[in-house]
Structure 1
């Protein structure tokens, strides 16, 4: 399985091994998922909006750039505050999606509202990421859209300044982002939207709940009371201030370090009413031997000196799979991670990539259609391939804590969601604290 050519200079990195338990308080960047949704909702609102503590990384800068290309004014005042002033959406415009699922799935519905032609393309691997169900759904809602063979990138949306909307049935089993993309712009559709999912279960359900909660916070009328049916009424969206939580998926490798080393990692300023799946993460880490608390100091994960294997359905938190697989390779008993067939269509085929790279450093891994079985074995150093996938780099860093000689073949891919990752990680392992 060859690495996909990335758009950044490749940067090998020696993952630091931990000689002592890590003890760190880390101020991490904002949530990618919340930042992306807040940008789209602000761009289609009736008044300006503000994002506080957003994530500034490749994915979110591409999202801002795509919206900006269509006429929305996105001003980065500083890293802690972005201003979005909605304006008439228009083409011609081009949107570079990079390797971002959120950009390639959230922005085409916005482009349907633009007057003029909007084209989309991205990194080579982006052209094989699933997109067809969203394209077909947009066509049935009245959007003129041309796609490559197979329904993917490159795309051309021929906007008329309006989208009829209405009812649509979609198979969103490959990505919850198909549904979220439709819902985020739907209040601006003339008839709103009724989205019905038919097919295997939709993965990453917490992200759909996040979409619905943020739509309601912006003033949309949303009904999700019927399973697999989402209704957004046509109406106005309010411009508002969005407080972006720290990124939970980005925090997981740091929390994993506490388990691996028997240390403690705290993420301060964590909201008690989080929009992210904190309870699910707490359960998983505690089953593996960690202790998770939320208090005045923030969200803290402590290692207990043991690291157990895990039998878990990760369908709701599939982004955690690479780091949990790395923990499983270091555990004291076998693990079975399942329910994540859809991550074969993420930045890379994550299941195949994890099986290959964990096996290369000595683990015994069996690849299943929807997951992995991992039997811990003595691990050895070596080069860990990332496949232009930030989560693979995170997994390699976790392995490197306990296995000297792990080299990440391209740590620059972490710029997708956390450009600060290598520096934050090295500071944590060496005994310092990171800063937002």
Structure 2
């Protein structure tokens, strides 16, 4: 691991908890839902309304890319936002006006997996060249299997033989579609990307996963659920279909009026705060039924010593003052690993986090980064073949480097609650999915975050 020129980045003194946290925290909308909804709305036959969308770097990159392709996205803000105290996005709505994608254009994906993977299939429906590029890290994130799948479906893509960004999709106005095999063991987003635009392919799409263990299945279920709600016909393994095969029938998608759920994965550090301080945090609007991976926190944090209650106020987690170690397979919810690792570093017993080898290919190599940074604070973390082993040790203050990874920054904030003098490098990277995180974090500690 390198520090990625961390010496030039600001250090944020992570605030210590003065005692047991007691707060209600309204988190912004889900990135995963917002960006899927934007793609589906762009491909629909009628305009859509997306209410309470997340406004963060990843979602604004998606919206800007769609606008450059000729899709209309109009933003409105509820007139009572200022007096209601709602955080960014809470009183907003986006009206998406679909159109035939236009080219040539250049798309900046930043370091957003959803943008670099969900947009190329849509770009193949444009008439002309759509060039994709992004942050340096985006050039080494997995993309080759999706590029080959799109070629097999009829797309013409120039990637210089790299199987990665930068690349150009030469759209022909339509895509044949049909049957395709893809190894999605490095990212479930490959499958979601093909399914989301599948209704607009001439033959629809039939996707067979041919690789090893498929990570992050809840995200594929989210894609399938949202497609069906938009009027698409989808056959999937979890609805009686064949294992590892998804089929989408060609047809029109419906415009929708959709309220975006709060981002449950972004709720993680706030729930963790209750757990590690023996306090209580409520997250309003926690859905009773959801496909978000973050819903697994109810079970995981209960096993680690918390008590979770889901009622009409939302989800309330109450800490007991003790944090238990955990042995957990996180293959379906890998994005939660950094926050769980932070809690595990403060636990009374050893933890083993399994099934997350694919995190080495995320915004950074998350397993190496967590190992290096927690150990730099006095921890005892070792990498395994597919995860982490974390033994509790007394931790001390120091600089926690984030490698431009938002979930490392929020994990460091959790450690800082009970470990004095933790300084977080580049906490602004949290803006990737959670605008104004430092302010919301402080307001939680002050008890007025709702």
Shorter-chain TM-score: which interval?
over 0.9
For 1:49, the equivalent position in structure 2 comes to: 48
Shift of 1:150: 3.1
Could you say what secondary structure the match of 1:315 adopts?
coil
TM-score by length of 1: 0.97
Distance 1:62 1:187 in 2: 24
Shift of 1:83: 0.8
Alignment map for 1:76-155 (pairs within 5 Å): 76-78=75-77, 79=89, 80-155=92-167
Structure 1 unpaired stretches of 5+: none
Choose from 305, 323, 339 the match for 1:323.
339
Structure 2 unpaired stretches of 5+: 78-88
Shift of 1:370: 1.1
For 2:382, the equivalent position in structure 1 comes to: 366
For 1:2, the equivalent position in structure 2 comes to: 2
Choose from 193, 202, 206 the match for 2:205.
193
The answer to whether the aligner puts 1:290 opposite 2:306 as a matched pair is yes
Shift of 1:433: 1.8
Choose from 352, 358, 377 the match for 1:336.
352
Distance 2:320 2:199 in 1: 48
Residue deviations 1:19-52 (CA, integer Å, cap 9, x gap): 2111111111000000000000000111101101
**Residues 30 and 5 (structure 1), Cα distance of their counterparts in 2 relative to 1, 3 Å cut:** farther
**Residues 148 and 293 (structure 1), Cα distance of their counterparts in 2 relative to 1, 3 Å cut:** farther
Shift of 1:148: 4.1
Q: Is the 8 A contact 1:4 1:124 kept in 2?
A: no
Residue deviations 1:240-291 (CA, integer Å, cap 9, x gap): 1111000011000100000000011111122212232455221111110011
For 2:83, the equivalent position in structure 1 comes to: none
Could you say what secondary structure the match of 1:250 adopts?
coil
Comparing 210-219 and 141-150, the one that deviates more: 141-150
For 2:81, the equivalent position in structure 1 comes to: none
Shift of 1:347: 0.3
Residue deviations 1:387-409 (CA, integer Å, cap 9, x gap): 00000001100000000100001
Could you say what secondary structure the match of 1:407 adopts?
strand
Distance 1:335 1:405 in 2: 25
Distance 1:86 1:211 in 2: 19
Shift of 1:431: 2.6
Residue deviations 1:55-87 (CA, integer Å, cap 9, x gap): 000000000011111110111223320110011
Distance 2:21 2:217 in 1: 32
Shift of 1:317: 0.5
Distance 2:295 2:56 in 1: 26
Choose from 402, 407, 415 the match for 2:431.
415
For 1:306, the equivalent position in structure 2 comes to: 322
Could you say what secondary structure the match of 2:415 adopts?
helix
Could you say what secondary structure the match of 2:282 adopts?
strand
Could you say what secondary structure the match of 1:272 adopts?
coil
For 1:354, the equivalent position in structure 2 comes to: 370
**Residues 336 and 280 (structure 1), Cα distance of their counterparts in 2 relative to 1, 3 Å cut:** same
Q: Is the 8 A contact 1:46 1:239 kept in 2?
A: yes
**Residues 92 and 339 (structure 1), Cα distance of their counterparts in 2 relative to 1, 3 Å cut:** same
Shift of 1:17: 0.5
Distance 2:121 2:198 in 1: 8
Q: Is the 8 A contact 2:265 2:293 kept in 1?
A: no
Shift of 1:200: 1.0
Could you say what secondary structure the match of 2:49 adopts?
strand
**Residues 313 and 217 (structure 1), Cα distance of their counterparts in 2 relative to 1, 3 Å cut:** same
For 1:60, the equivalent position in structure 2 comes to: 59
Distance 1:49 1:226 in 2: 32
**Residues 148 and 345 (structure 1), Cα distance of their counterparts in 2 relative to 1, 3 Å cut:** farther
For 2:416, the equivalent position in structure 1 comes to: 400
For 1:260, the equivalent position in structure 2 comes to: 276
Q: Is the 8 A contact 2:218 2:293 kept in 1?
A: yes
Could you say what secondary structure the match of 1:195 adopts?
strand
- Structure 1 runs of 4+ aligned residues shifted over 6 Å read none
Q: Is the 8 A contact 1:10 1:411 kept in 2?
A: no
Q: Is the 8 A contact 2:443 2:449 kept in 1?
A: yes
Choose from 386, 407, 422 the match for 2:402.
386
Over the residues paired in the alignment, what is the CA RMSD in angstroms?
A: 1.2
The answer to whether the aligner puts 1:251 opposite 2:267 as a matched pair is yes
TM-score by length of 2: 0.94
For 2:23, the equivalent position in structure 1 comes to: 24
